[in-house]
Amino acid sequence: MNRLIFIFLLLTQVLSAQQITEKLAQATQNLLKTSAAYSANISVYVADAEGRLVYEYNGNQGLSSASTQKIFTAGAALETLGADYRYTTTVSYDGKISGGSLNGNLLITSNGDSTLGSWRYDGYKPEDFKKKLLAALQQHGIKKITGNLIIDDTYFDFQTVPGGWPWNDLGNYYGAGVWGVNWRENQFDLQMNGRDMKSVNIDLPHVNWVSDLKTGGTSDQSLVFTAPFSNVAYINGTLPNKNMTVSGATPNPPLSLGTEIQKWLQQSDIEFNGEITTGNLQRIAGQTVHTSGGPKILEYQSPTLDKIIYWFMRKSVNLYGETLIKTLGKEKMNDGSFAAGITYLKDFWKGKGIHPAMINFADGSGLSPQNYVSAKAEVQALLWSSKQRWFTIFHDGFPTQGNGMKMKSGTMKNTKSFAGYHTTKDGNKYVYAVILNNYQGADITEALYRILNILK
């Protein structure tokens, strides 16, 4: 009798799996038959928790993945750097301290902490760094600085944004570049009233604004254009005729940090009349780059990597992904460049059994349309990650989407992707990815939900 029950249950599971496969195939074909998908490409791959194929359509086809690309960066970073990895920002000086006077330069350096001055972490906000810096100066009896304030931002190479990022994205907050010293997630916030710029939350030294903004509509349809190290910022598009915040990418975050520190010194009655400069500005000017190396007065550590990964996945912070790429390159190849980090990332996942043709990475965040990744590759990465000691950390960052499924999403113009894990009410576990490119309809998200909801 027990054997008959076992056979019955097994047949029931087989029939259920076949029904799921058939429903997924039908839903995929239904999408492809719509007018919005006339020239679309789709890659779908669904497996069970053990990696057995449930359904695929163009599973090997590489498509622009948008932010589901982040699963590769997050997994490689957790495995390579460790969940307890921290970045460090150092305050040091050259010269001597005598009679309350620092007769020399004050230097700030970092190994690329993308959370320095972030608002996301309790205990690590801008005011926390301010308090610790001023306390360190007080502890060393420094009431006057005769030299310059130098922000040494040369830990990584000079290129701050990956090649292939669209110009329309670079100046917006999600297109911020990566420096050796980052500040406030390299983002500034404009307080706008219609087309009128009322204020900005941080200093943007030497930046001149050009505006072609118009008022109209009910939502933010503006675009901010800034470029690394540029003194010109441009904004166009339309904004509603009301108060609202528009966020952009800081063109020189280390210099913005330096001007903010100057204000802190003034507020604390610490005399400072020197210049504010950065390592990369010295390089641009053809000067010898003045790096740190003297006595340290403060070592300021970032939150641990597990907390960074959470926000990287939950809010899809592109800056975190590109910083992790450069960090992987620096740590594993002694080369803090995007090229080195991308090479390491691809080799890492090749080593986990993913065919290299299915992971043609261009960056660490998915913002570049030059990323070509397949749904099968994403599922393979998810399956491998599910067996690692840090999986809970990794999966906690996946947001719950509008259809109630907990999964990473990706969005670019005419592009949508989802990847994640799902357990049905009956206990069946699925690992899946779907990537849709060149879909012309406004309901692109709902179009993919109609496929994924079958797994619920």
Buried b (16+ CB within 10 A) or exposed e, 109-146: bbbbbbbbbbebeeebbbeebbeebbebbeeeebebbe
Cβ–Cβ under 8 Å, residues 95 and 105:
yes
Task: Answer yes or no: is pLDDT of 360 > 80.
Answer: yes
pLDDT, tens digit (0-9, with 9 covering 90-100), for 411-421: 999 999 999 99
pLDDT bracket for residue 37 (50, 70, 90): very high
Task: Answer yes or no: is pLDDT of 456 > 80.
Answer: yes
- Give mean pLDDT, residues 436-445: 94
DSSP 272-332: E-S-EEEHHHHHHTTPPP----S-EEEEEEPPPHHHHHHHHHHS--HHHHHHHHHHHHHHH
- Give mean pLDDT, residues 403-410: 97
- Give mean pLDDT, residues 260-283: 97
Give the CB-side neighbour count of residue 40, counting CA atoms within 13 A: 27
- pLDDT at res. 53: 97
Tell me how far apart the alpha carbons of residues 210 and 218 are, in angstroms, rounded to a whole number. 23
Place of tokens 């490689």: 76
Q: Reduced to 3 DSSP states, what percent helix, strand and coil does the chain have, rounded to the nearest 5? A: 35, 25, 40
pLDDT bracket for residue 431 (50, 70, 90): very high
Task: Answer yes or no: is pLDDT of 10 > 50.
Answer: no
Tell me how far apart the alpha carbons of residues 28 and 20 are, in angstroms, rounded to a whole number. 12
Among 280, 331, 283, smallest CA distance to 153 is for 280
Beta carbons within 8 Å of 38's beta carbon, 6+ residues apart: 440
Cβ–Cβ under 8 Å, residues 190 and 246:
yes
Q: How far apart are the first and last CA of the chain?
A: 32
Cβ–Cβ under 8 Å, residues 95 and 163:
no
Tell me how far apart the alpha carbons of residues 378 and 241 are, in angstroms, rounded to a whole number. 43
Opening angle at CA 453, ends 449 and 454, nearest 5: 130
Task: Answer yes or no: is pLDDT of 13 > 80.
Answer: no
Whole-angstrom Cα Rg for the chain: 25
pLDDT, tens digit (0-9, with 9 covering 90-100), for 152-192: 999 999 999 999 999 999 999 999 999 999 999 999 999 99
CB-CB neighbours of 163 under 10 Å: 11
Task: Answer yes or no: is pLDDT of 9 > 80.
Answer: no
Query: Is the model more confident about 427 or about 417?
Result: 417
Task: Answer yes or no: is pLDDT of 17 > 80.
Answer: no
Q: At what angle do helices 305-314 and 70-81 cross, to 10 degrees?
A: 180
- pTM across the whole model: 0.95
Tell me how far apart the alpha carbons of residues 179 and 111 are, in angstroms, rounded to a whole number. 9
**Average pLDDT value over all residues in the chain:** 95
- pLDDT at res. 439: 96
pLDDT bracket for residue 6 (50, 70, 90): low
- Give mean pLDDT, residues 102-115: 97
Phi/psi of residue 241, nearest 5 degrees:
-80, 70
Structure tokens at 75: 């997994």
Among 89, 176, 69, 121, smallest CA distance to 308 is for 121
Place of tokens 């007769």: 103
- Give mean pLDDT, residues 332-357: 98
